[in-house]
A and B are shown apart, each in its own frame.
Chain A
Amino acid sequence: MNAKTLYDKLWDSHVVRQEADGTALIYIDRQLVHEVTSPQAFEGLKLAQRKPWRTASMLAVPDHNVPTANRAAGITDPISRLQVETLDANCAEFGITEFKMGDIRQGVVHVMGPEQGATLPGMTVVCGDSHTSTHGAFGALAHGIGTSEVEHVMATQCLVAKKSKAMQVKVEGVLRTGVTAKDIALAVIGKIGTAGGTGYAIEFTGGTIRGLSMEGRMTLCNMAIEAGARAGMVAADEVTFDYIKGRPFAPQGAQWEQAVAFWRTLHSDEGAKFDATLELDAAQIKPQVTWGTSPEMVLAIDGNVPDPASISDSVKRSDTERALQYMGLTANMPITAIQIDKVFIGSCTNGRIEDVRAAAAVAKGKKIAANVKLAMVVPGSGLVKAQAEQEGLDKILIAAGFEWRDPGCSMCLAMNDDKLSPGERCASTSNRNFEGRQGQGGRTHLVSPEMAAAAAIAGHFVDVSKL
Chain B
Amino acid sequence: MQKFSQLDGLVVPLDRANVDTDAIIPKQFLKSIKRSGFGPNAFDEWRYLDHGEPGMDNSKRPVNSDFVLNQTRYQGAQILLARENFGCGSSREHAPWALEDYGFRVIIAPSFADIFFNNCFKNGLLPIKLPAYQVDALFNAVETNTGYKLKVDLERQVITAPDGAVYSFEVDAHRKHCLLNGLDDIGLTLQHVSDIKTFETKHSAAQPWLFA
Residue A255 at the chain B interface, CB threshold 8 Å: yes
Most interface-central of A37, A56, A132, A146 (chain B CB within 10 A):
A146
Of B71-79, B159-167, B193-201, the one contacting chain A is B193-201
Q: Is the CB of B54 within 8 A of A79?
A: yes
Q: Is the CB of B196 within 8 A of A198?
A: no
Complex contacts, B123 vs chain A, CB 8 Å? 148
Q: Which 6 A-B pairs give the minimum distances between C-beta atoms? A: A251-B209, A148-B122, A39-B33, A146-B119, A146-B93, A195-B85
Complex contacts, A43 vs chain B, CB 8 Å? 33, 35
User: In chain A, residues 389-442, which have Cβ atoms closer than 8 Å to a Cβ of chain B?
Assistant: 413-415, 432, 434-437, 440
Q: Is the CB of B31 within 8 A of A195?
A: no
Q: Is the CB of B91 within 8 A of A23?
A: no
Q: Is the CB of B115 within 8 A of A435?
A: no
Residue A72 at the chain B interface, CB threshold 8 Å: no
Complex contacts, B184 vs chain A, CB 8 Å? 148
A151 to B189, CA, bound (A): 12
Interface footprint category on A? 35 or more
Residue A239 at the chain B interface, CB threshold 8 Å: no
Complex contacts, A147 vs chain B, CB 8 Å? 35, 92-93, 119
Known: A156-B190, A414-B27. A25 touches B22 (CB 8 A): no
Q: Which A residue's beta carbon lies closest to that of B96?
A: A146
Residue B155 at the chain A interface, CB threshold 8 Å: no
Complex contacts, B22 vs chain A, CB 8 Å? 413, 432, 434-437
Q: Of B26, B88, B196, which is within 8 A of A16 by CB?
A: B196
Of A120-128, A302-310, A337-345, A376-384, the one contacting chain B is A120-128
A255 to B205, CA, bound (A): 12
Residue B212 at the chain A interface, CB threshold 8 Å: yes
User: In chain B, residues 166-210, which have Cβ atoms closer than 8 Å to a Cβ of chain A?
Assistant: 172-175, 184-186, 189-190, 192, 195-196, 199-200, 203, 206-210
User: In chain A, residues 125-153, which have Cβ atoms closer than 8 Å to a Cβ of chain B?
Assistant: 128-130, 132, 143-149, 151-152
Complex contacts, A77 vs chain B, CB 8 Å? 31
User: In chain A, residues 6-33, which have Cβ atoms closer than 8 Å to a Cβ of chain B?
Assistant: 13-14, 16-17, 19-21, 23, 25, 27, 29
Of A80-88, A268-276, A352-360, the one contacting chain B is A80-88
Q: Is the CB of A319 within 8 A of B186?
A: no
Q: Is the CB of B89 within 8 A of A434?
A: yes
Of B2-10, B13-21, B56-64, B145-153, the one contacting chain A is B13-21
Residue B45 at the chain A interface, CB threshold 8 Å: yes
Q: List 29 A-B contacts (CB under 8 A).
A: A17-B195, A27-B203, A40-B93, A64-B30, A128-B91, A128-B93, A129-B90, A144-B91, A144-B115, A145-B91, A145-B118, A146-B93, A147-B119, A148-B93, A148-B184, A152-B185, A156-B190, A157-B196, A160-B174, A195-B113, A198-B111, A198-B112, A256-B209, A315-B83, A432-B89, A435-B22, A435-B23, A436-B23, A440-B51
A147 to B118, CA, bound (A): 11
Q: Which B residue's beta carbon lies closest to that of A56?
A: B211
Q: Is the CB of B33 within 8 A of A83?
A: yes
Q: Is the CB of B33 within 8 A of A130?
A: no
Residue A290 at the chain B interface, CB threshold 8 Å: no
Complex contacts, A156 vs chain B, CB 8 Å? 186, 189-190, 196
Residue B144 at the chain A interface, CB threshold 8 Å: no
